[in-house]
Amino acid sequence: MELLKPEIIEKVGNLNLRARLVVEGFLIGLHQSPYHGFSLEFREHRPYYPGDPINRIDWKLYGRTDRYYLRKYQADTNLSAYLILDKSKSMDYGKAITKFHYARTLAASLAYLLLHQNDSVGLVIFDKEISSLIPPKSKINHLKLLLRELTNAKPSQRTSIYDVIYNFASQVKKRSLIIIFSDLIEDPDEVIKAFKLIKARKNEVIIFHILDLDEMEFKFREQALYRDMEDHSIIPVNPLNIRELYLNRFNRFLEKYREGFAYNKIDYSLITTNTPYNNALSAYLNKRKRLL
């Protein structure tokens, strides 16, 4: 959908407006898709799936719509969710749109969507440590606080995902949906170990692995000095000489994440910053359907 292209959305200066445009565009698309029964206002029913208890089918609604829906109660519908945003310096990479800008807009959009579903939403922003931690609340005016923190966040310093998640896990007292936005530029073994820990505490986890196409394809051609965005070290590089080696190592890096998260039953989506936001929101929706 044209409206959900990142380069168009990011031209809108206000984060609240960006989030609203993304979510409303996404919902328009849903009404034209197989996801019948999902909207911001529709909280009392969900579509029937094979294996669901038939004694919870709303037969009156079936008579009006010719579709099967289950009756849902408050405890069935509401989630407690944390949005966890990586603001390490490596997230500041990008030309038309940085990884951090993409992740921030996606986090704001999910906050908007979750709160309008009457879910509780909290926020964690981190680099090498947690810089902001806002506990989940379900009141719609809570969105202002979340958006203010997201707007004020700026990429800085290195990251330490294992330490951050280890400290965060001890503070989560209720089973929650944990949604992470990060480029995961760290040792995959340490990162996977961190999310195994939070998964072991009965939380559900969705990881949005956000990368730039440059990192995926490495199509640079001219010899230049390359600077590490986190430790500021500089090395001279001829891209044509190292492209094959880089791609081999980077693909192994990605494969470690795919295999590790799949083995531990952690939902993982690799997304580049040119991907329309509705693709990421659809990944969330698929997970949400399995939780209900």
- pLDDT digit string (tens) for 8-42? 788 787 898 888 888 887 877 765 554 434 444 44
Q: Which two tokens stand for residue 189?
A: 């073994």
pLDDT tens string 204-261: 999 999 999 999 998 888 887 777 767 778 888 888 888 999 999 999 999 999 999 9
What is the topology classification, in CATH, of domain 78-291? Answer: Rossmann fold (3.40.50)
- Split at pLDDT 50, 70, 90, the class of 6 is confident
Task: Tell me how far apart the alpha carbons of residues 126 and 205 are, in angstroms, rounded to a whole number.
Answer: 17
* Cα-Cα end-to-end distance for the chain: 27
Domain residue limits, the chain: 39-74, 78-291
Beta bridge partners of 182: 209
Which residues lie closer than 8 Å to 268 by C-beta, 6 or more apart?
207, 209, 257, 258, 261, 262
Q: Diameter of the chain by CA atoms?
A: 71
At residue 210, φ and ψ (nearest 5 deg) are: -105, 120
pTM for this prediction: 0.81
